[in-house]
Amino acid sequence: MIALGCDHGGYNLICAVKKYLDEKGIEYKDFGTYSTESVDYPVYAYKVATAVANREFEFGILCCGTGIGISIAANKVNGIRAAVVNNEFGAEMTRRHNHSNILCMGGRVTSEEDAVKFTDIFLNTPEEGGRHDCRLAMVDEIENGTFEVE
Ligand code: RB5
């Protein structure tokens, strides 16, 4: 089950993602926004990020104009690893190495066709674990204030 969210700048892109998910029979909940009328991206980042962090959803997909603002906001929620993806390699590696749980894309920089490709790769690439687990544990320590460096 996937949690979806966007602002006005990402509305068209999330519609393309929804069409792909419908075709694949993948279930999702759409947290809005539901039009191209101007809204504030932190609202939708927060709704999706908290739902993913609470493990109500396995993954989230967030779209704004660039993917950047909405990813910054989502990453403020503990447990979220939101990645802005602009190419296929990034879509794969952010799952393999960063164990990302939210895919962020920008409606003003990424085509609908590419967004569907990135979504497909993101949802179908496993976490690699191994040496990446201890690096991600360090990221968690930064998040909870226990990280120590010499
Ligand atoms: C909204 O105009 C725009 O700032 C937003 O969609 C996003 O690109 C922010 O990072």
The CATH number of the domain holding residue 24 is: 3.40.1400.10
What pLDDT is stored for residue 128 in this prediction?
92
Number of domains in the chain: 1
Decide if 150 is inside a domain.
Answer: no
Q: How far is CA 123 from the centre of its chain?
A: 10
Catalytic residue positions, numbered: 64, 97
Given a cut of 50, the residues of the chain with pLDDT beneath it are: none
CA nearest ligand 1 atom 3, residue: 65
What pLDDT is stored for residue 66 in this prediction?
98
- Boundaries of domain holding 58: 2-144
Amino acid type, 91: A
What pLDDT is stored for residue 103 in this prediction?
99
pTM for the complete prediction?
Answer: 0.97
State the maximum Cα–Cα separation within the chain, in Å, rounded to a whole number.
51
What pLDDT is stored for residue 102 in this prediction?
99
Decide if 139 is inside a domain.
Answer: yes
- In 3D space, the residue among 2, 104, 98 whose CA is nearest the CA of residue 58 turns out to be 2
Using a 10 angstrom Cβ sphere, with 0-12 exposed, 13-18 middle and 19 or more buried, the burial of residue 142 is: exposed
CA of 36 relative to ligand 1 center, distance in Å: 12
For residues 82 and 77, give the distance between their C-alpha atoms in angstroms, rounded to a whole number.
Answer: 10
Summarize pLDDT for 96-128 with one digit per residue, the tens: 999 999 999 999 999 999 999 999 999 999 999
